[in-house]
Chains A and B, each alone.
Chain A
């Protein structure tokens, strides 16, 4: 009786998820927005609405610098990850015989904790780490390289490794969906393998590439564990600053404001990206 119509059935089925999202996403977001208009006065909160947090944040060169760096690092991570993931996804979808085993292998990094994987990179890249020891033992360098760890490079490398499966899977799915006869048709109409890839395979996987980019870009902009552990002072990102506001600096309103600014910036960049990628895809003929 509850399922009288298609619509009410839909509502009923999605109700648990709606409630969950409502309590755990919408409500905190409302609280966050409220906080961003308040002021911290030592231990108490002044709840008079004000835009001072926003003007402070925009005026602060550190905020701007960290925000731009976060977007730059996340962008670099996205490009590196997707560029490395595409050939892997292509291999699994088009060439591999035992796809299931390959897909299983790709998920192996998830079998250990993310923190452990970050620490593993610390061990590999550190001053006395695996990389430096190996290079020293081989006699390729005379003293340990110090540009491996505690900088942007280390953050990009660590994040790219951590997020690789998230890029491979959506691209794999979109490659998998391509009807092989489309590729034969392109060859039949005179395309070399490279032309065929540029004109058929690539445009048909654009949705997968966009999905992969968003899945990686959005969370990495706000990542704070990785920069905190391998970023050093050069690799700090906006999330580290936000964390400080909610912790040591005890300025929750400013923290809330920075969070919202970060969220909006990410949204803006993502929308511009999706629109330009879609438009670019349409121009391929």
Chain B
């Protein structure tokens, strides 16, 4: 819709204040990096990158801009390489150069990194971020990878079933999601039922079942007024220990039901009395970390500040 391949049924697309209604895709100040990259197979790298400029600028200028664009994506000097001789990462870079050479106001990226392997993907994430910062062009990127979205964006729009649920900075999205769905989608989240006991302007007094009573911060992105509500706790915010952690106001005892080793982190699933689902706890893999095993009895510790208000339970 932003690129102009589909007209919106309602609402408007404004680019730089200009209404794009009726402006065909070929006349919009947008360019796109396609999921498949759509590299023209009959053209070499140089001609692919130059595609949009042909007939619009003198040949010498085109050649110079192609060279610059390729330099920018670190493919300098590969103009004569055939389209079929490129690796996945190179294709991605050619597609990027081909779009950027047009100097669009908005660059659209349709899952640009989904076809790359993990290492290359992470490298490209940083490169594209740097490129975006230095060019100052708006990038609109579609991705299914929450981590990719968080590392690369200034603002993230979370969409479910064609509806934009929340648009916010990655940190706000992570700390103050607007509902359970978003909370669950962005990172991992333990969602627990709680009872609302009292409320003031920015705090809520709640009874968080096994974790007991506490006062938590009100989440301005959700509506909380009914008695039955949900709270969220990020797995990394929980303390796990053999003995009762003294410095945590709220503690609960449980049993390790599952262990997953992620390398940099270890995830434990803790079955707590009174909770339906096991609670996820993530611990950084320090060399001195105590290794818990399945079936071990453990204590979980929680600070009220780590509890996220997820609003009234609608069910």
Contact = CB atoms under 8 A, between A and B. Distances in A.
Interface of A: 179, 181-182, 184-192, 199-200, 203-204, 281, 284-285
B57 to A, nearest CB: 12
Interface of A is mostly: helix
Contacts of A204: 41-42
30 contacts: A179-B36, A179-B38, A181-B36, A181-B38, A182-B40, A182-B41, A184-B5, A184-B25, A184-B32, A184-B34, A184-B38, A185-B32, A185-B38, A185-B98, A186-B40, A186-B51, A188-B3, A188-B25, A188-B32, A189-B102, A190-B52, A190-B102, A191-B26, A192-B26, A199-B51, A204-B41, A204-B42, A281-B42, A285-B43, A285-B47
B98 A190 contact: no
Interface residues of B, number: 26
B196 interface: no
Interface in B59-76: none
Nearest to A200: B40
B41 A181 contact: no
Contacts of A199: 51, 54
B119 interface: no
Contacts of A182: 38, 40-41
Interface string B14-51: 00000000001111001110111010111100010011
B40 A185 contact: yes
Contacts of B56: 190
Contact of A189 (B24, B41, B52): B52
B42 A189 contact: no
Contacts of B24: 187
Contacts of A179: 36, 38
A172 to B, nearest CB: 19
A187 B23 CA distance: 12
Contacts of A285: 43, 47, 50-51, 54
B112 to A, nearest CB: 13
A199 B31 CA distance: 18
Contacts, number: 60
Closest 4 interchain pairs by CB?
Answer: A189-B52, A185-B38, A181-B38, A187-B25
Nearest to A284: B42
B38 A190 contact: no
Contacts of A185: 32, 34, 38, 40, 98
Contacts of B30: 188
A203 B42 contact: yes
A77 to B, nearest CB: 28
Interface in B237-272: none
B48 to A, nearest CB: 9
A149 to B, nearest CB: 44
Nearest to A206: B42
A190 B101 CA distance: 12
A190 B42 contact: no
Contacts of A200: 40, 42
B31 A188 contact: yes
Contacts of B50: 285
A199 B41 CA distance: 12
A192 B25 CA distance: 9
Contacts of A187: 5, 24-26
B4 to A, nearest CB: 8
The winner among B50, B51, B99 for most chain A CB atoms within 10 A is: B51
A111 to B, nearest CB: 37
A187 B40 CA distance: 13
Contact of A181 (B34, B42, B43, B52): B34
A281 B41 CA distance: 12
Given A189-B102, A190-B52, 13 more contacts: A179-B38, A181-B38, A182-B38, A184-B25, A184-B34, A184-B38, A185-B32, A187-B26, A188-B25, A188-B30, A190-B26, A190-B56, A190-B102
Contacts of B54: 199, 285
Contacts of A203: 42
Nearest to A184: B5
Nearest to B5: A184
B207 to A, nearest CB: 54
The winner among A186, A189, A203 for most chain B CB atoms within 10 A is: A189
Contacts of B99: 188-189
Contacts of A192: 26
Nearest to B31: A188
A186 B51 CA distance: 8
A179 B41 CA distance: 10
A285 B102 CA distance: 17
Contacts of B3: 188
Contacts of B34: 181, 184-185
A94 to B, nearest CB: 16
Nearest to B27: A190
Contacts of A186: 40, 51
Interface string B84-120: 0000000000000011001000000000000000000
A181 B98 CA distance: 14
A182 B32 CA distance: 11
A186 B56 CA distance: 14
